[in-house]
Amino acid sequence: MRKCRIAWSPGEARIAVCDGDDLIDFALWRPGMPDGYGDTHLVRVQKAAPALGGAFVRLADNSTGFLTGTHQEGALVAARVTRSAQNGKGLRLKPLPDAAPEGDAPRLIAYGPTPLEDIARRYPDLALCCDDPALAALIPAVLRPRIARVPQAFDAVLDASCAALATPQALLPNGMRATITPTPALTAIDLDDPAPDQRRQMDGFTANRNAFPALAREIRLRNLSGAILIDPAGVPLRKRPALGSFLAAAFADDPMQPKMLGATGLGLLEIVRVRGRAPLHETLFSPGGRGLSALRHILRDRSDKRAGGSPVLRASLAVVRALESDPEALAQFALCWGATLTLTMMPDYPDAYWSFTP
């Protein structure tokens, strides 16, 4: 039976759609750290870049983005964000041809749907099972009739399944294993077959084919996008192009509609998946993501006798600044802990490290 479970911690909702113990969809929603995806803006064209097929623009908060199409420098254009900032690049926007610009300066016209709204639209018949009243107050009014309060949204199995998405490896059927390596240009996925001799009556071609549905689900859960190259395990080069149709079929239900482009000369299966929101690894390992993860782990590991006091979180410059930009998350932590959290910048701390004193 399918369920949508939402585990809330200060500043972050982990949204998991599961079918029994199988995780089939996942998203992170951070109300205080929105990614801008789907937002509508009035932007100012700063510099035309015809060679790139668009122009660089300025938004109301003085951030920059890239607008597709041909535009005159200095013009105001109504546009929608089609790709959130990711991979070291800013927002990407598409002009709204039927929208007449209103105003004389850049401004935010309307917010786009949140990740929770995306999931709710994708699964319209599922109740939204959440475990904290603080989250219920943030959910849009149109979705509140679907809220179902539960004592604990994530059990140990679901929590472990979601945590595994932060690792570079994924276990697939028939003993297959995928190692996922994102790079600035593409995502490389190496399929490995540690024990091919232990399978009876199944050759390498069949083992890869049977692993594709689970691999497609991992790509969707991690929101990997752009160019994706897959190296099958134990399949001769001449047979690898024949795997393409099975891989394409595995992506049939993916809302981002990945396209199978064929096999390269080296036998790598080439896929392109539309970029929208940032991939999960960028979201998790951003300064904001590390900071919110620290708050969640501190509250999870506390004992009752540690509540109150003068809690201090020491973290890198980037992590502290990210948390300071989300005062609501800090207020929620203070409410749960029973005391205001003091943030201390540690210039010698890497972003991945933090320390806490209760």
Q: Which fold has domain 2-34+114-154?
A: Nucleotidyltransferase; domain 5 (3.30.420)
pLDDT for 201: 63
pLDDT for 198: 62
Question: Is the pLDDT confidence value at 202 over 80?
Answer: no
pTM reported for the whole predicted model: 0.91
pLDDT digits (tens, 9 = 90+) for 299-340: 988 765 456 688 999 999 999 999 999 999 999 999 999 999
What is the average per-residue pLDDT within 144-173? 93
pLDDT for 188: 97
Question: Is the pLDDT confidence value at 283 over 90?
Answer: yes
Arithmetic mean of pLDDT over the chain: 92
pLDDT for 303: 60
Give strand pairing partners of 231.
190
What's the distance, CA 138 to chain centroid? 20
What is the average per-residue pLDDT within 245-256? 94
pLDDT digits (tens, 9 = 90+) for 120-151: 999 999 999 998 888 888 888 899 999 999 99
Cα–Cα–Cα angle for 148, 303, 153, nearest 5°? 15
What is the average per-residue pLDDT within 209-233? 96
313 Cβ contact partners less than 8 Å away, ≥ 6 residues apart:
294, 295, 298, 320, 323, 341, 342, 343, 344, 354, 355, 356
Q: Render 251-271 in DSSP notation, one character per residue.
A: TTT-TT--EEEEE-TTS-EEE
SS3 153: coil
| Kind and range of the H or E run holding 231 | strand 226-231
Q: Render 289-351 in DSSP notation, one character per residue.
A: HHHHHHHHHHHHH--GGGSSS--EEEE-HHHHHHHHT-HHHHHHHHHHHTSPPEEEE-TTS-T
Reported as a pLDDT band with limits 50, 70 and 90, residue 174 is confident
Question: Is the pLDDT confidence value at 199 over 70?
Answer: no
Q: Is 279 exposed, middle or buried (0-12, 13-18, 19+ CB in 10 A)?
A: buried
Reported as a pLDDT band with limits 50, 70 and 90, residue 285 is very high
Domain-wise residue ranges, the chain = 2-34+114-154, 40-110, 165-273, 286-357
Instruction: Give the CATH architecture of domain 40-110.
Output: Beta Barrel (2.40)
pLDDT for 197: 63
Question: Is the pLDDT confidence value at 64 over 70?
Answer: yes
Strands 54-58 and 64-68: antiparallel
pLDDT for 249: 96
Share of the chain above pLDDT 90, in %: 83
Do 139 and 128 meet the contact criterion of CB atoms below 8 Å apart? yes
Reported as a pLDDT band with limits 50, 70 and 90, residue 217 is very high
29 Cβ contact partners less than 8 Å away, ≥ 6 residues apart:
12, 13, 15, 114, 115, 116
88 φ, ψ to 5°? Answer: 80, 5
pLDDT digits (tens, 9 = 90+) for 93-110: 999 987 777 778 999 999
| Kind and range of the H or E run holding 29 | strand 22-29
Question: Is the pLDDT confidence value at 200 over 70?
Answer: no
